[in-house]
Structure 1
Amino acid sequence: MGSLDGRVAIITGAGRGIGASISRMFAQQGARLVLNDLGAGPDGSGGDAGPAEAIAREISDLGGQAVSDSGDIADTATGRRLVELALENYGQLDVVVNVAGILRDKMIFNLPEEDWDAVIRVHLRGHFSTIKPAAAYWRQQRNPEGNYRIINFTSDSALQGSPGQPNYAAAKMGIIGLTASLANGLARYGVTANAIAPGAATRLTATVPDDKKLGEDPAAEALMSPDNIAPIVTYLAGTESGWLSGRTLGASGYDVRLWNNPEVVETVSSDGPWDLADLGEKLTKSFRPKADGLHPSIFMAQLPQ
């Protein structure tokens, strides 16, 4: 008996990297799958049905159940079709995992508009594409004990402010807000929503400059395998994870981390409309010690003292 026996899942970005690792583990645990992958390059260019078809065939050859789709996930018609495929082939839908993404990295002053739009489109609209029709289906079930799951993919680039990825960081932080909204809005329909910030060696991370890579260390290669992300996603997809919703989890190597939700850490107040000098004095006295402690050191080195 697998932990996902009887469960039906949609996985985007399923043909390679983290998505393929999740697909294999889901199948090993008994899930029936709808696998989507455009088969594009890391920057979103091109397309190839082969990756999605290959992982579906691999799973089927091992006795699992999987169908593939190579549509553009940022096209909302693709998201609707994936939900329809799940219902037509398996009669139900329990889990949506949104992994698909692209990179077009540049500093903000060199970033073309089309690169901003493309990254925002794939990540944010790509999540919306699957979640809207899935949520509509779950709402129709009227089952507060449905154990339905949405698992989104964010990034440390958003959480820590990667300087060369303003479009990617903005999209990934948007996914955190989306996840929180889904957790609050869909709980009454038996749905939980969480986000994963992964660290793994994939085609996307392969675009990182050589001087920033880990090198050819076999131990580091094993540590950064996409296979290490699959277990936490598989746990969240199961029926035992209903206690957790609206949170962001980090997964890298053999570590899984729980990120804190945003919270107020300090407040200053006035008896009436703010005097600018008084506001500046209070902010410096009350906020700066907290802000200095919260900033990553890379930012602090560039801030005026």
Structure 2
Amino acid sequence: MRAQTQPSLEQLRDEAMQWGRKPRARGTWYVAEHMVRAMRAYGWTIIVGALGQPILYLLGLAVGLAAIIAVPIQDGSQEVPYLLFVAPALLMTAAISVASEEFTYPVMAGFKWRRYFYGFNASPLSSGQIANGVVMGASARMLVAVAAYCAFIWIFFAFLYPGQTTPATGWLSIPIGVLAGLAFGVPLMAYAGSIEDDKGQFALVQRFVFMPMFLFSGTFYPLTVLPLWLQWIGWISPLWHASELGRVVTYGKPVDPAMIVVHSAYLLVLTVGGLVLARRIFTRRLAK
């Protein structure tokens, strides 16, 4: 009987490389899939939040604050009903709220509590792919929340303000909302990745970053009605820039085209800059 030839070390190395190429090529998608599957643990929270939040906010404003503020809002050179003015900003806030959840404690869990990022890193996945996958997984949840919000807005306002919205461009509020969430969340992910121990930092972010941004970024009234020493909060806030874009596509707010470029560029710079920083932090921590 002829003896079976044993594979050489070079052949074994080539075979191992072939097995590793697939996860390396699709590593970002594998991490994103894991993050989405992990969301099943709080899936009902996601569904109720995506569907219930817009209903409660908009109905609450319609019955409450909008009933008091009966006069239209002067938004630039255009007068719009108060509820129509607020709705795009609430849509953007919903995306940023999701981002503040997905880019904080899940990132901390991946490094410290459950340490699954180190498991990913032990495979052919790179640290950059892990960071990208976290972003894509969070984007999937933001997309669901924003799409549900957008659908409710169009159903709601079709009866309240027929003809005042612009459905032809209104769907653009969905990608704008996701971009708003990324512009806030990706730099936050970089910060979360740099934290070694949880000492209440995320609670401070909610109280001293998210809440002032929510209140003073032109969400409930035009930014220009604030004193100048408070307007800077809106100028640096991704919520204000996204809300302005949302109002343009929702009801056709007249805006200088140059400002549309400024709003879009600011959100993109925050997202890309945050991702570059987050990838570096992930690489540094996973190399330990």
TM-score (norm 2): 0.31
Greater strand content: 1
Larger radius of gyration: 2
TM-score (norm 1): 0.30
Higher relative contact order (Cα pairs below 8 Å, separated by 6+ residues): 2
Greater helix content: 2
